[in-house]
Structure formats: structure tokens, C-alpha cells
Amino acid sequence: MRTDLCFGRACGRARKRCLKGLLVALSIAIAAPLAAQSPALPAPSRGSLLYETHCVACHTTQIHWRDAKLATDWSSLSAQVRRWQANAGLNWTDEEIDEVVRYLNTTIYRFSEPAPKPVG
């Protein structure tokens, strides 16, 4: 008589647990390579973080698309960012202002950027 055969409720529950475990292991084995192939989202730029933290509460994208906008080129966009950060008392550095200008220009305005300043 064979004693390794299982009959009854206890054996049925054991099979179900085994199948659940197998299903979980199979799911992980399939999902892991797919997750490894997914490209990571790029980190937000410094300009994006500054703008989203300090400006977006008042300046929705609608302000940038209005007919009477004050930013008409890179220089005037830079002047407006400098003006408003000063009005808000943010004390941004020149580099931070440039980052916000670059972010706004990339995402909204698309003005021609000035030639890079020579180093030295």
C-alpha cells in the first residue's frame, strides 16, 4: 500500500498553498527582468524644482501664454525671472535664475538661447 499519496481536505489545502507559492514565484521571475528593462525617470532639473516650489502657486502655465506676456526673448525672460524672485525675496543666485530661465524656455517659450559665455 502506498503511503505517499494524499487524499482528503488536508492534502487539497496543501496543494493550493503549493500552487499559490508557485504562482508567486513565477510572477516574480517574469516581472523582475521587465522591471530591470524599464528606464528610470530622469530627475527633475534644479530649475524645475525651484519653479515648482516657489512660482507655480501664482504662475500657472496660463500666465505664460497670455497675449500681454512680458517675456518676448531670452533676455526679457531672464529679466522677469530675476524681477519676480527679487519681489518674492528668494535671493536666488545667478545660476539659480539661469536654471529657472532654462526650464521655462525648454518647457514653454522656446526662445533662442544666447551663445555661451567664454570661460576664463
Average pLDDT, the chain: 81
- Report the alpha-carbon distance of residue 120 to residue 117 in Å, rounded: 9
Write down the pLDDT at residue 38: 60
Name the grid cell of 40.
528610470
38-74 tens-digit pLDDT:
677 788 999 999 999 998 888 776 777 777 788 999 9
Residue 105: inside a domain: yes
7-20 tens-digit pLDDT:
555 566 666 676 66
Write down the pLDDT at residue 25: 65
Residues 28, 64, single domain; the answer is no
Query: For 1-120, where are the E strands, in sequence order?
Result: none
Helix (H, G, I), strand (E, B) or coil at 93: coil
Write down the pLDDT at residue 101: 97
Residue 119: inside a domain: no
Greater confidence (37 vs 80) lies with: 80
- Report the alpha-carbon distance of residue 30 to residue 18 in Å, rounded: 18
Residues 54, 96, single domain; the answer is yes
67 secondary structure, DSSP code: T
Residues 34, 50, single domain; the answer is no
Residue 114: inside a domain: no
Task: Domain of residue 77: give its range.
Answer: 46-109
R_g (Cα) of the chain, nearest Å: 29
Write down the pLDDT at residue 47: 96
